[in-house]
C-alpha cells in the first residue's frame, strides 16, 4: 500500500459519489449526506477500508503509521515514557487481572516485552501560540488531554490522528498528550492497555489529576474506559473527566445494531478481514496439529507440505459427538499452545464451533473479559464525569447507549445472572452512579469527528470543548478562561445546498440562540445543562439542534436481556463466515505459503518466556532464536499528509483569522501627532474585561475568552431552607470544603464573608473586591484595601518586596503566580510549595515536565532575597499559613507591584 495505489483505488469512488450526490439528492436531503463534504468523506473512508482488506495487516499498519508533517502553527514534541513507569503500570494491571486473568492471557512477562529500539513514545500537541504564551508566563498548564487514538486496536497512529487532536487542543486551549501504544495482533491484550495506563502515570508525575481529562475514539474509547476502571479499583487518582467518542466496548457484538444493516456507516458489517500474513490470521488448532506433524515427518524424511486447513468451523448436531469434543478440549493442543477456545453459536438451527480467532485484539476466550469489553464490568459507577458521543447511524450505537445508562445507573443495569458473583454484587452496591452526558447524533457514522472538515463534525468538536472545560473547572474548583472563537471560527454551509435554502438555514439553524426557538449544541464556555438522575440525555441533528432523548424503554440497547449481553449472536457470525469463505478462496494459495514459512520458523525454534504461553498471534510467541528484530523506521506519507491537510483546513483558516485580528492594529503607521488624548491600551483592556464580566449571558459574546465554572449541575450536596446564604455562596464558589479549617482559625469558627458585599456585586480578583479605597477600615467587601486584615495568600495583588537588583516585570509575574492559593488551581507541588522547600523546586521544561537535574533559585518573596532564606538568617520563626513578613519599615506604595500593572519603582 502506498499513496499511488490508494489514490487509484479511491478515485472512482470520489467521482461516482460526486455525480450521485447531485443526481440523487432527494433521499439525502434530511441526512448528513446532504452535505457534499460529508457524503464524499463517508464513501472515501469506506472505499479505503475495502481496499485495505485486500492487503495484509502489516501493510495497513505501515501505511497508517507513516510520518505526517504537522502545520507550523502546531507545536509538537516527542517524549519517551521511562521504564520505571511501565513497570508501575504493569504492576497495577497484574493486580487488576488477578491470578485467573493472568492465566487466561498466558502469563505476566510476554506482554511487557517490546521490540528492540522501540520504547513507548508519546507526543505533546499544542497550538504554537498557546505554547509561546505559556513559556512567556512560566505556566506548566492546567489543561491536559490524554488522547488514545482508535483503529480497531490494530491500525492507526498519532500521526494519522494528529489533525483531530490539534483541533481539540485549539478549542480547549489545552495540551494533548497522545501515546503511541502497541497494536494488535502482534501485541494483543493487554499490551496496549499497559502502554496507555503508563502514559497516564507519566502525566501524574508532573500534573495534578484535576488538570487532566481523558479522551479516545472507537477502540481508544474502550481503552480509556478500561483505564478508568483500573484507576478506580487500584486507587490511582482519577482525572477530571473523560470523553468517549463512539467507544467500542463490546467485542462480542451481542447488541442488536450489529446484526442489522447500517448503510450510513463505513465500518464493514462482516468485520475486518485481510490477506493472510505471518501476523493474521493466527494458527488454529487444526493448523497447529498439521504443522507439528509436518515437523515430525521432515525430521524423518522429506515429505510434501499439504495445503493447510482453511476450515474454521466445526458443524455438528447436538448429541454425544458434540459433548465429547467439548469435553476433550482440555486434552487437545488447544490448551498447550495457548490457542483460542472454540466459540459455539447456532446458525440456521445447527451448532457451529468457530475455531479461528475472530478479533485481532484478543483470543476468543477473552473477548468477553471486562477489561476487553467494558460493558461486562459488574459496575461502571464511581468514575469521573463522562461525555459519550454516539453516531445514530453507526453499527455500534446500541452498546454505546447501553454503556451510558449502565454508568449512570449501575443498579438498574447489573451483569447477567451467569456473570453475577459476590464480588460483582459488592461492586454494584459500593460505587455511586457516574455522571454522564449522552449525545446521539442523528444518522452520523462511527467517529464522525474523523471527517473534521464537515459541518456535523465541527459541532461535535464544540461539544467536546464545552464538556472538557466544565469538567476541568469542576475538578479544579475554580473558574477557567476558555477561548470564545465565534468571531473567527465559522461553521460554513455545504456547497450542495441551494442558495435560498442555504441562507434560510444559516439564519434559522446556525444561530438559533438569537431567535430563542430551539436549543443548540453548546460551545466551550457555555453552561452545561443540569443532570437528571446523573444523566444529560440529548439527541442532536446535523445542524447542532438539540432535543430530548426518548426514554430508555424505547431504546433497543437498554431493553436487551442482561444474560444476552456478551453472548455471540447468529447475525454477526453469519456475515463473518460468508466473508471468510470468500477470502479463503481468493487467498488460499497465499495462506499455504505463509504456513510453509511458519513451518520453517518452528523447526528453527522460538524463544520462550519461562513457560508462558502468549496468544498465537502475539509476536512474543514468534520470537526467533537468533534474536529480536528491531522495528522499522517511519516514512513520510503523501496520502496521509493530504488527508491531514484537508482535515486541518478549518483550523488553519481560524488561526489565520485570529492572527489577522490581533496583528491588524500593529500594522497601522502612527505618528506623535495622532491619538492625542486617547486612552492607554491598559485602560482599554481593563474596560473590555469589565464589559465582558457585566454582559448578560444571552446572545453571542464579543469577548475573546469565557469563564467556565461548575454550576453544581450534578447536585452533589443538597441544601435546605435553613442553610445560611453564606454557606450556599461558599459552596457555589467551591470555597467551603477547602477553606473550612483556615477560616475557622481566623474568624473564630464563623464562615468567611460572602464575595458580594452590601454595596452590591463587585469584580473579584483573587478574593479582593475592586475598586478599593486606601487608608480606611474595610466596612464592606468593596472597601477591602492593601492593609486590610485578611488572608494574604488569597490576594493576587499582595505587595511584593522589590529589591534594587530585581526586574519589576519578571518579579511581578513570578511572585504573583507563587502567591496564588491552591484553591485557584495552582499545583501544590509546584508554585504552592512552602518557603522552606522552594529551593528544591525543579525547573520545568517547555512542556511543564520537571527537569531531571537542575535547580532554580527560590522565587522572590518577602521571605527570600538573592536566592537565600532571609527568615532563617534573621532568626524569623515559622509564619502562619498566608501571613507575610515585611522587612523592616514598610516602603512607600510606589515600591509595590500588583497583578494588574507594574507601578514605577522609586529611584
The residue length of the chain stands at: 907
List of long-range contacts for 505-510, beta carbons under 8 Å, 24+ apart: 505/543, 509/543, 509/544, 509/545, 510/543, 510/544
Question: What count of other Cβ atoms lies within 10 Å of the Cβ of residue 856?
Answer: 14
Q: Which of 33-47, 325-339, 886-900 has the highest mean pLDDT?
A: 33-47
pLDDT score at 655? 60
3-state secondary structure of 386: strand
Query: What whole-number distance in Å separates Cα of residue 716 and Cα of residue 708?
Result: 18
Give the tens place of pLDDT for each residue, 829-871: 433 444 444 344 444 555 555 444 444 443 444 444 444 444 4
Pick the most confident of 304-313, 663-672, 801-810: 304-313
Higher pLDDT, 579 or 842: 579
CA–CA separation, 627 and 838 (whole Å) = 49
Do 293 and 299 touch, CB atoms closer than 8 A? no
pLDDT of residue 359: 93
Which of 59, 52, 47 is CA-nearest to residue 10?
47
Whether the pTM exceeds 0.75: the reply is no
Residue 59 has pLDDT above 80, yes or no: yes
Q: Please state whether the peptide bond connecting residue 744 to the residue before it is cis, i.e. omega within 30 degrees of 0.
A: no
Average pLDDT over residues 222-230: 97
Q: Write the DSSP assignment of 687-726 as a string of letters.
A: HHHHHHHHS-SSS---SSEEEE----TT--S---TTS-HH
Distance in angstroms (rounded) separating the CA atoms of residues 395 and 391: 9
Q: Is the peptide bond before 76 cis (omega within 30 degrees of 0)?
A: no
What do you get for the CA distance between the two ends of the chain, in Å?
A: 71
Residue 123: strand, helix, or coil: strand
Contact criterion met (CB below 8 Å) for 456 and 407: no
At residue 406 the predicted structure's pLDDT band, cuts being 50, 70 and 90, is very high
Q: Give me the pLDDT at residue 771, please.
A: 53
Tell me which of 443 and 331 has the higher pLDDT.
443
Per residue in 700-725, pLDDT (tens digit) is 333 355 666 666 666 555 555 556 66
Residue range 127-174, pLDDT digits in tens = 998 999 899 888 888 999 999 999 999 999 999 999 999 999 999 999
Range from 98-107, 132-141, 447-456, 685-694 carrying the lowest mean pLDDT? 685-694
Most confident of 279-283, 368-372, 689-693: 368-372
Query: Between 779 and 729, whose confidence is greater?
Result: 729
Alpha-carbon dihedral sign for residues 261, 267, 273, 275: positive
Q: Please list, in sequence order, all residues whose beta carbon lies within 8 angstroms of the beta carbon of residue 235, skipping any fewer than 6 positions away.
A: none
Least confident stretch, 266-270, 453-457, 885-889: 885-889
**Pair 327, 240: CB distance under 8 Å:** no
Greater confidence (56 vs 660) lies with 56
Say what the alpha-carbon torsion angle 381, 382, 388, 394 is, to the nearest 10 degrees: -40
- Mean pLDDT check: name the lowest of 19-33, 64-78, 89-103, 290-304: 290-304
The pLDDT, as a whole number, for residue 72 is 87
Helix, strand and coil content of the chain, in percent to the nearest 5, comes to 40, 10, 45
The CA-atom distances, in angstroms, between 179 and each of 78, 182, 369 are 10, 9, 24
Banded pLDDT at 273 (limits 50, 70, 90) = very high
Share of residues in the chain with pLDDT > 90 (%): 37
pLDDT (mean) for 170-183: 95
Task: For residue 279, give the 3-state DSSP assignment.
Answer: coil
Proportion of the chain above pLDDT 70, given as a percent? 59
Q: What is the pLDDT of residue 229?
A: 97
pLDDT: is 501 or 283 the higher one? 283
| Helix axes of 36-52 and 57-64: crossing angle, nearest 10 degrees | 140
Average pLDDT value for residue range 570-579? 90
The residues facing 520 across adjacent strands are 545
Mean pLDDT check: name the lowest of 139-153, 265-279, 358-372, 418-432.
Answer: 418-432
Mean pLDDT for 661-665 is 46
- Give the separation between CA 363 and CA 185, rounded to whole angstroms: 10
For residue 730, what pLDDT band results from cuts at 50, 70 and 90? Answer: low
Per-residue pLDDT at 290:
79
In angstroms, the Cα distances linking 346 to 350, 354, 358, 570, 611 are 5, 11, 16, 6, 36
* 3 three-state secondary structure: helix
Work out the burial of residue 513: count CB atoms within 10 Å of its CB; fewer than 13 is exposed, 13-18 middle, 19 or more buried: middle
Whether 340 and 283 have beta carbons less than 8 Å apart is answered as no
Residue 820 pLDDT > 60: no
**How far is residue 394's CA from residue 404's CA, in Å, rounded to a whole number?**
16
For the segment 549-559, the average pLDDT, to the nearest whole number, is 93
Supply the pLDDT for residue 692: 42
CA distance 882 to 790: 9
96-110, 211-225, 796-810: lowest mean pLDDT where? Answer: 796-810
Q: Give the pLDDT mean for 514-537.
A: 76
Return the SS3 of 175.
Answer: strand
- The answer for residues whose C-beta is within 8 angstroms of residue 130's C-beta and 6 or more apart is 169, 173, 175
Contacts of 672 (CB under 8 A, 6+ apart): none
pLDDT at residue 590 greater than cutoff 60: yes
Which of 343-347, 563-567, 644-648 has the largest mean confidence? 563-567
Residue 887 CB contacts under 8 Å (≥ 6 apart), including other chains: 801, 862, 865, 870
- 380 band by pLDDT with thresholds 50, 70 and 90: very high
Predicted confidence at residue 379, as pLDDT, reads 95
Handedness of CA 146, 151, 154, 156 (dihedral sign): negative
> Which of 19-33, 88-102, 129-143 is predicted with the least confidence, judged by mean pLDDT?
19-33
Average model confidence (pLDDT) across the chain: 73
pLDDT class for 348, splitting at 50, 70, 90? Answer: confident
Give the residue among 266, 241, 268, 239 at the shortest CA–CA distance from 253. 268
Containing 537, the helix (H) or strand (E) segment is strand 535-540
Q: If pLDDT is split at 50, 70 and 90, which confidence band does 639 have?
A: low
**What was the pLDDT predicted at 407?**
96
By the 10 Å C-beta count (0-12 exposed, 13-18 middle, 19+ buried), 561 is classed as: exposed
What pLDDT does 863 receive?
Answer: 41
- 317/25 Cα distance (integer angstroms): 50
Task: Of 404, 439, 469, give the one whose Cα is nearest residue 241.
Answer: 469
Phi, psi (deg, nearest 5) at residue 2: -150, 180
Q: Which H or E element spans position 865?
A: strand 864-865
pLDDT confidence tier of residue 744, bands split at 50, 70 and 90: very low
Tens digits of residue pLDDT in 279-309: 999 888 777 777 777 777 777 765 554 444 4
pLDDT band at 728 (very low <50, low <70, confident <90, very high): low
Amino acid at each position: 500500500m502506498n499513496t499511488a495505489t490508494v489514490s487509484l483505488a479511491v478515485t472512482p469512488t470520489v467521482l461516482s459519489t460526486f455525480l450521485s450526490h447531485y443526481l440523487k439528492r432527494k433521499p439525502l436531503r434530511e441526512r448528513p449526506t446532504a452535505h457534499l463534504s460529508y457524503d464524499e468523506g463517508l464513501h472515501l473512508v469506506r472505499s479505503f477500508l475495502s481496499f485495505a482488506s485486500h492487503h495484509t495487516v502489516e501493510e495497513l499498519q505501515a501505511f497508517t503509521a507513516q510520518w505526517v508533517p504537522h502545520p507550523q502553527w502546531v507545536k509538537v514534541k516527542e517524549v519517551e515514557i521511562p521504564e520505571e513507569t511501565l513497570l508501575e503500570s504493569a504492576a497495577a494491571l497484574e493486580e487488576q487481572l488477578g491470578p485467573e486473568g493472568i492465566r487466561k492471557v498466558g502469563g505476566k512477562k510476554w506482554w511487557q516485552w517490546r521490540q528492540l529500539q522501540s520504547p513507548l513514545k508519546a507526543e505533546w500537541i499544542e497550538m504554537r501560540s498557546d505554547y509561546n504564551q505559556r513559556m512567556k508566563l512560566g505556566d506548566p498548564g492546567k489543561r491536559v488531554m490524554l488522547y488514545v487514538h482508535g483503529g480497531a486496536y490494530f491500525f492507526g497512529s498519532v500521526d494519522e490522528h494528529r489533525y483531530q487532536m490539534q483541533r481539540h487542543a485549539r478549542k480547549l486551549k489545552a495540551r494533548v498528550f497522545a501515546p503511541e501504544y502497541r497494536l494488535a495482533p502482534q501485541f494483543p491484550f493487554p499490551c496496549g492497555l499497559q502502554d496507555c495506563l503508563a502514559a497516564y502515570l507519566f502525566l501524574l508525575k508532573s500534573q495534578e489529576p484535576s488538570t487532566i481529562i481523558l479522551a479516545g475514539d472507537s477502540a481508544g474509547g474502550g481503552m480509556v474506559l478500561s483505564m478508568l476502571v483500573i484507576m478506580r479499583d487500584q486507587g490511582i487518582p482519577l482525572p477530571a473527566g473523560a470523553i468517549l467518542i463512539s467507544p467500542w466496548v463490546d467485542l462480542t457484538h451481542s447488541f442488536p445494531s450489529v446484526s442489522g444493516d447500517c448503510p450510513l456507516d463505513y465500518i464493514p458489517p462482516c468485520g475486518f478481514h485481510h490477506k493472510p500474513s505471518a501476523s493474521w490470521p493466527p494458527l488454529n488448532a487444526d493448523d497447529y496439529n498439521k504443522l507439528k506433524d509436518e515437523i515430525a515427518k521432515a525430521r524423518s524424511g522429506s515429505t510434501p507440505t499439504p495445503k493447510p486447513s482453511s476450515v474454521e468451523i466445526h458443524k455438528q448436531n447436538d448429541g454425544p459427538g458434540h459433548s465429547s469434543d467439548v469435553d476433550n478440549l482440555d486434552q487437545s493442543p488447544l490448551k498447550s499452545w495457548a490457542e483460542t477456545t472454540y466459540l459455539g453459536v447456532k446458525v440456521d438451527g445447527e451448532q457451529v464451533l468457530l475455531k479461528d480467532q475472530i478479533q485481532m485484539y484478543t483470543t476468543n476466550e477473552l473477548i468477553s473479559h471486562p477489561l476487553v469489553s467494558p460493558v461486562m464490568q459488574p459496575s461502571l459507577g464511581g468514575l469521573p464525569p463522562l461525555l459519550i458521543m454516539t453516531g445514530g447511524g453507526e453499527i455500534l450505537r446500541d452498546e454505546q447507549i447501553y454503556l451510558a445508562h449502565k454508568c449512570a445507573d449501575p443498579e438498574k443495569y447489573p451483569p447477567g445472572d451467569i456473570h453475577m458473583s459476590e464480588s460483582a454484587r459488592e461492586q454494584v452496591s459500593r460505587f455511586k452512579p457516574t455522571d454522564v452526558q449522552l449525545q446521539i447524533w442523528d444518522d452520523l457514522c462511527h467517529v464522525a469527528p474523523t471527517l473534521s472538515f464537515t459541518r456535523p463534525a465541527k459541532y461535535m468538536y464544540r461539544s467536546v470543548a464545552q464538556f472538557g472545560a466544565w469538567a476541568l473547572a469542576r475538578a479544579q474548583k475554580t473558574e477557567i478562561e476558555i477561548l470564545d472563537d465565534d468571531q473567527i471560527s465559522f461553521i460554513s454551509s455545504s456547497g450542495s445546498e441551494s442558495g435560498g435554502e442555504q441562507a434560510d438555514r444559516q439564519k434559522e439553524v446556525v444561530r438559533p440562540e438569537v431567535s430563542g426557538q430551539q436549543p443548540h449544541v453548546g460551545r466551550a464556555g457555555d453552561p452545561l445543562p443540569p443532570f437528571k438522575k446523573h444523566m444529560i440525555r440529548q439527541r442532536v441533528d446535523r445542524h447542532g439542534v438539540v432535543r430530548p432523548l426518548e426514554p430508555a424503554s424505547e431504546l433497543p440497547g437498554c431493553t436487551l436481556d442482561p444474560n444476552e449481553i456478551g453472548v455471540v449472536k447468529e447475525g454477526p457470525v453469519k456475515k463473518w463466515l460468508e466473508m471468510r469463505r470468500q477470502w479463503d478462496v481468493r487467498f488460499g494459495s497465499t495462506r499455504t505459503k505463509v504456513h510453509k514459512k511458519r513451518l520453517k520458523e518452528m523447526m528453527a525454534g522460538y524463544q520462550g518466556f519461562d513457560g508462558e504461553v502468549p496468544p498465537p498471534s502475539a509476536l512474543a510467541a514468534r520470537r526467533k532464536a537468533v534474536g529480536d528484530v528491531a522495528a522499522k523506521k517511519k516514512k513520510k506519507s503523501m496520502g496521509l499528509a493530504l488527508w491531514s491537510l484537508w482535515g486541518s483546513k478549518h483550523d488553519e483558516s481560524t488561526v489565520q483569522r485570529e492572527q489577522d485580528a490581533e496583528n491588524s492594529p500593529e500594522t497601522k503607521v502612527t505618528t506623535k501627532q495622532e491619538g492625542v488624548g486617547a486612552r492607554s491600551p491598559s485602560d482599554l483592556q481593563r474596560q473590555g474585561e469589565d464589559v465582558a464580566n457585566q454582559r448578560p449571558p444571552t446572545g453571542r459574546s464579543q469577548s475573546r475568552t469565557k469563564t467556565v465554572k461548575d454550576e453544581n449541575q450534578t447536585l452533589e450536596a443538597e441544601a435546605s431552607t435553613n442553610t445560611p446564604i453564606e454557606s450556599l455562596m461558599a459552596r457555589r464558589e467551591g470555597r467551603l470544603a477547602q477553606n473550612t479549617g483556615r477560616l475557622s482559625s481566623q474568624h473564630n469558627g464563623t464562615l468567611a464573608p460572602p464575595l458580594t458585599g452590601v454595596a452590591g456585586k463587585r469584580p473579584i480578583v483573587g478574593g479582593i473586591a475592586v475598586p478599593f479605597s486606601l487608608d480606611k477600615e474595610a466596612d464592606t467587601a468593596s472597601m477591602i484595601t492593601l492593609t486590610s486584615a485578611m488572608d494574604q495568600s488569597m490576594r493576587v495583588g499582595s505587595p511584593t518586596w522589590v529589591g534594587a537588583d530585581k526586574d519589576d516585570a519578571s518579579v511581578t509575574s513570578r511572585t504573583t503566580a507563587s502567591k496564588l492559593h491552591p484553591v485557584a488551581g495552582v499545583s501544590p507541588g509546584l508554585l504552592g510549595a512552602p518557603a522552606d522547600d522552594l529551593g528544591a523546586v525543579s525547573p520545568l521544561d517547555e512542556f511543564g515536565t520537571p527537569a531531571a537535574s537542575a535547580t532554580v533559585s527560590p522565587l522572590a518573596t518577602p521571605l527570600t532575597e538573592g536566592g537565600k532564606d532571609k527568615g532563617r538568617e534573621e532568626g524569623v520563626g515559622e509564619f502562619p499559613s498566608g501571613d507575610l513578613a515585611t522587612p523592616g519599615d514598610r516602603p512607600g506604595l510606589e515600591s509595590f507591584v500588583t497583578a494588574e500593572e507594574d507601578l514605577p519603582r522609586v529611584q
